[in-house]
Structure 1
Amino acid sequence: MKKILLLLLIILFQSCWICPERHNLEFDNNTKIIKVLSEGYYFESIKITEYIPKEGYVEFIDSNYVEIKQKGKLLNNLIDFRNLNNNYNIKGIDIEKILSKREIAFEIMVKNPKLKTEDEDSRSFIYFVTDSLTKGKLIAESNGCK
């Protein structure tokens, strides 16, 4: 019995070490400003896509998207979508046009430049959607352990 209990404790502790941390960001739907709330993490890339809500899933409109990728060395943990700087490459339709849509999905990659790329906590993927009912600030969280 003691061996089984010890084995279960080892598995429990080991699974906590394997699981990556959760990372948070805040999106203000009124001001169109997005901010990484996790300390030491910065935006690497953002993809915004318009979608059509279906029952139980969403259907992306592939032609209506914007991709924003970091190109400079300056690290940003806050981005004002209405006033993007030269630190980012922008591909796709006009960003103001996509932000005016009612249903949009965000796929965001954040990174911590102080961690090695082999470390599973060096990058984190955060996904969330907004719709016509989304007002004010929205907190989104990546998958992982608390």
Structure 2
Amino acid sequence: MDQIDKIKELILPELSLFDVKLYDVKWLNEKKMRILQIAIMKSDGTMDIDTCANVSEKLSSVMDEAFPNMDEYFLEVCSPGAEREVKDLSELSSLIGQHIYVRVKHPVKKMLEITGDLLKVDEGIITMNYRDKALTREVTFEQDEIEFCRLAVKL
């Protein structure tokens, strides 16, 4: 078990106390600073700064206790962001109505990248609408065709 897995195992019970779920844990290096970034979100996909601050305070003490000899680092508890990656495609059905960006493995209607509203997820078939100049069009493709997916901000 590597260090990230140990950290995840340690913090998961603490996160449940705040009714948030873990999105990601990773080490970052910025200007000779080691940063442990823990991205969290509420079950509805949102996050607020007060919750991040409260979770950060709790996790800081938990980490200090569990890893007293760890090299110096900064703890950053944050949201995954407005355009977070959808890592688990089984989550797609909970994103119906959301604006998303999808990159597919093979062209669909001559497109490898589609940005639009997720309309339906039905037995592995994805239906989205997208803008083509002034028209709104619909596209359908298999979920297995998704190479990458993230939420997208609608402008």
* Bigger relative contact order, structure 1 or 2 (CA pairs below 8 A, ≥6 apart): 1
TM-score (structure 2 length as normaliser): 0.27
Identify, as 1 or 2, the structure richer in helix: 2
